[in-house]
C-alpha cells in the first residue's frame, strides 16, 4: 500500500475532508475518504498531530461517566470526559480544564497519561491521549450551551448494568468494562 496523492475536498469549520489516492497491493489505484480536525499540509503530516485527551476519572470506588447528547448519532450515549487541546496548552492543563468545564470537578491526582492513540482509524487521523485521574469535588455543569452533558459517578454494579443496557462510545465502554473487572 502506498499513498500517492491527497486532495482536500471540503473545508468545514471543525473537520477537513480529504480524498486519499493509494496504490493497493495489486498496484491499482484506490480512493479513500478521511477527515481531520486540522489542515494537513503534506502527506507526511497525516496522523502526526495530537488533538486532545479522553479522561478516565474515578472518585473513591466510583467511575465518572457522562450521559451526553451526541449529534453525530442523534442520541444520548455514555462517554468519557474529553476534549481538544487549545493552542500551547499542555496535556495536564487540558485534562484539568476539560474536567472542570464538563463536570465542575477538580483533578486530585493524575495517575497516568498514555501515549497518543488514534480515536477513529477507519475515518480519521484524530489522535488523543487517554488519561487516568482521581478527582475531587462535586459535580456542577459548566458546559457550553451547545453541549448537553449529565455527569455522574457509578459504582461497579451500576456500571455492569449500564454495560448491558445502555449505548456507549467505544473508549468509554472499554474503560467501563475494565473498571468492573479490577479488584
What does the pLDDT look like over 86-141, one tens digit per residue? 999 999 999 999 999 999 999 999 999 999 999 999 999 999 999 999 999 999 98
**What's the whole-number mean pLDDT along residues 32-52?**
93
41/71 same-domain check: no
74/16 same-domain check: no
103/67 same-domain check: yes
Instruction: Please tell me the predicted confidence (pLDDT) of residue 183.
Output: 67
87/18 same-domain check: no
110: exposed, middle or buried (Cβ count in 10 Å: 0-12, 13-18, 19+): middle
Instruction: Please tell me the predicted confidence (pLDDT) of residue 144.
Output: 80
**Residue 146: is its pLDDT beyond 90?**
no
User: Helices 156-165 and 170-181: crossing angle, nearest 10°?
Assistant: 140
116/54 same-domain check: yes
Count of domains observed in the chain: 2
Range of the domain at 58: 50-181
- Cβ–Cβ < 8 Å for 76, 45: no
115/80 same-domain check: yes
**What's the whole-number mean pLDDT along residues 41-52?**
93
Count of positions (residues) in the chain:
183
39/122 same-domain check: no
Eight-class DSSP state of 86: P
Amino acid at each position: 500500500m502506498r499513498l500517492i496523492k491527497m486532495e482536500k475536498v471540503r473545508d468545514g469549520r471543525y473537520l477537513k475532508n480529504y480524498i486519499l489516492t493509494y496504490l493497493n497491493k495489486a498496484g491499482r489505484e484506490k480512493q479513500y475518504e478521511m477527515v481531520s480536525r486540522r489542515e494537513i499540509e503534506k502527506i507526511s503530516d497525516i496522523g502526526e498531530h495530537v488533538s486532545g485527551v479522553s479522561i478516565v476519572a474515578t472518585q473513591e470506588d466510583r467511575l465518572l461517566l457522562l450521559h451526553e447528547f451526541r449529534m453525530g448519532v442523534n442520541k444520548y450515549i455514555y462517554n468519557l470526559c474529553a476534549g481538544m487541546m487549545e493552542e500551547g496548552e499542555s496535556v495536564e492543563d487540558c485534562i484539568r480544564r476539560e474536567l472542570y468545564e464538563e463536570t465542575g470537578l477538580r483533578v486530585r491526582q493524575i495517575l497516568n497519561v498514555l501515549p497518543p492513540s488514534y480515536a477513529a482509524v477507519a475515518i480519521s487521523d484524530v489522535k488523543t491521549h487517554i488519561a487516568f485521574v482521581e478527582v475531587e469535588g462535586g459535580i456542577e455543569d459548566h458546559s457550553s450551551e451547545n453541549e448537553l452533558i449529565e455527569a455522574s459517578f457509578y459504582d461497579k454494579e451500576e456500571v455492569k448494568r449500564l454495560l448491558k443496557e445502555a449505548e456507549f462510545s467505544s473508549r468509554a465502554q472499554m474503560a467501563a468494562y475494565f473498571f468492573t473487572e479490577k479488584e
